[in-house]
Amino acid sequence: MKKKICISWSGGRDSMVMLDRLHSSSDWKPAALLTTLAEEEQRVMMHDIPLSLLTKQADSLKLPLHTVMMKQGASNEEYEESMRAALGSLSKQGIDTMAFGDIFLKDIKAYREDQMKKTTLEPVFPLWGDATENLSREFINKGYKAVLICVDCSQLDSSFLGREYDEDLLRDLPDGIDPCGENGEFHTFVYDGPLFEKAVDYQLKDTVERYDRFLYWHIE
């Protein structure tokens, strides 16, 4: 029997590849999505995807969406307490495993593993150690669609903002830029693909600059 697993969901490319792999696995049954959002703005931290679009993604993927709301300026302790409460709720639903989309950042993986030891859930890393070039093409070749909604302008030119995540984009990325944006070079929003019942409608609004280096497409 397949084990129920919850997906740490950002709404972006890595989360989608992870979900697709788990969906095709003989061992796992994706049972829920879990996302952390800024409470004031109701948007995913760093990715800036609004809750309304996350809900549309979840509905199209036919998975329940669980949210963890964090207030601006919340301490690390407050974040960890909120996460433990959310994970405890999942455990009561018969979900005892949590999937994270980390690829090669060892410190983040170690942090997640340490925090999960304080819960009843086991962490799983379906993408860990894979070559990011292969993962980028796995996403494209399977027919998933995404758009770049955030660019770290200290690493990547702002002209990449709003572009489709496709072969043309991969070809145009400068040397040293990870094709999965694993070093924070960019973030994406996934709006269509094989697991979607229907494409998620969205609009690219104005651009917003934050933290003196990140440029966002404000999507709705």
Would you list the domain boundaries of the chain?
3-124, 144-214
* pLDDT value for 85: 83
Q: Which residues pair with 219 in a beta bridge?
A: 204
32-41, 165-174, 209-218, range with the lowest pLDDT: 209-218
Average pLDDT rounded to a whole number, residues 44-70: 92
Question: What is the percent of the chain where pLDDT is above 90?
Answer: 70
Average pLDDT rounded to a whole number, residues 119-131: 94
* pLDDT value for 157: 95
pTM: 0.93
Q: In which residue are the tokens 């030119």 written?
A: 157
Burial class (CB in 10 A: 0-12, 13-18, 19+), 196: buried
CATH 3.40.50.620 fits 3-124, yes or no: yes
Under a CB-based contact definition with an 8 Å cutoff, are residues 47 and 187 in contact? yes
Q: Does residue 33 have a pLDDT over 80? A: yes
Q: Does residue 210 have a pLDDT over 80? A: no
Average pLDDT rounded to a whole number, residues 195-200: 98
* pLDDT value for 120: 85
Q: Where are the beta strands (DSSP E) in 100-211?
A: 122-124, 145-152, 186-192, 204-210
Write out the two tokens for 88.
Answer: 């405890």
Write out the two tokens for 12.
Answer: 């972006």
